[in-house]
């Protein structure tokens, strides 16, 4: 139903108010829902029905994990964002980009924390924080342990458990 609504909206927007850029953005969402519908139609083929059911089960099992992971990203982003102001307050001769750890706003801080969860984080400006760099390193190591080691291994275990559950069901048949 949602796909049909978006497809109708896409056709109407093509002939009315939308310029080419808006039309392309709307098209991306229509294409995404179209591919989701195609995957759902694979349930009716015997060879792919188990895979689609397993994919649906993994996604539904991941909802609580995803909420917890996002909460962790926001928490660590907030910690780094608050600490970012320390060096500027300590040494007023430093420019903002010289003390920047996670970006100029909280949204960028969240993106940097998300990158850090997957191993991409720049610790190059930590030395400019003087005695406070110990706090930054402690936050960074906690982020690595909690988000990278614990949470990502948890999702692997969660997917493995769902896969094992479907393997046992399939072997019973």
Q: Which domain holds residue 7?
A: 1-44
CA atoms of 69 and 48, how far apart (whole Å): 30
Q: Are residues 70 and 84 in the same domain?
A: yes
Q: What distance in Å separates the CA atoms of residue 45 and residue 55, rounded to the nearest whole number? A: 15
Select from 67, 72, 80 the least CA-distant residue to 109: 80
Predicted structure pTM score: 0.71
Residues 133 and 96 grouped into a single domain: yes
Domain count, the chain: 2
Q: Identify whether residues 149 and 165 lie together within a single domain.
A: yes
| Same domain (yes/no): 21, 104 | no
Longest dimension (CA), the chain: 72
Per-residue pLDDT of the chain (173 residues; tens, 9 = 90+): 666 676 776 667 666 666 677 777 777 877 888 888 888 888 888 888 878 888 888 888 888 888 999 999 999 999 999 888 776 666 666 666 666 788 788 999 999 999 998 888 888 888 878 888 899 899 999 999 998 888 888 888 888 888 788 777 767 76
Same domain, 37 and 58: no
Same-domain check for residues 67 and 36: no
Pair (126, 146) in one structural domain: yes
**Whether residue 54 sits in one domain with residue 124:** yes
């Amino acid at each position: 139903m949602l796909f049909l609504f978006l497809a109708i909206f896409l056709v109407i927007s093509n002939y009315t108010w939308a310029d080419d850029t808006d039309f392309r953005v709307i098209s991306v969402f229509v294409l995404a829902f179209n591919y989701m519908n195609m995957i759902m139609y694979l349930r009716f083929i015997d060879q792919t029905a188990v895979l689609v059911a397993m994919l649906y089960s993994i996604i539904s099992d991941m909802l609580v994990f995803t909420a917890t992971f996002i909460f962790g990203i926001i928490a660590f982003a907030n910690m780094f964002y608050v600490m970012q102001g320390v060096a500027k307050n300590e040494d007023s001769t430093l420019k903002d980009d010289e003390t920047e750890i996670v970006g100029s706003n909280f949204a960028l801080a969240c993106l940097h924390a998300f990158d850090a969860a997957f191993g991409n984080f720049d610790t190059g400006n930590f030395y400019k924080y003087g005695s406070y760099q110990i706090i930054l390193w402690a936050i960074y190591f906690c982020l690595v342990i909690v988000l990278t080691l614990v949470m990502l291994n948890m999702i692997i275990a969660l997917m493995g458990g769902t896969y094992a559950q479907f393997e046992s069901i399939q072997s019973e048949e």
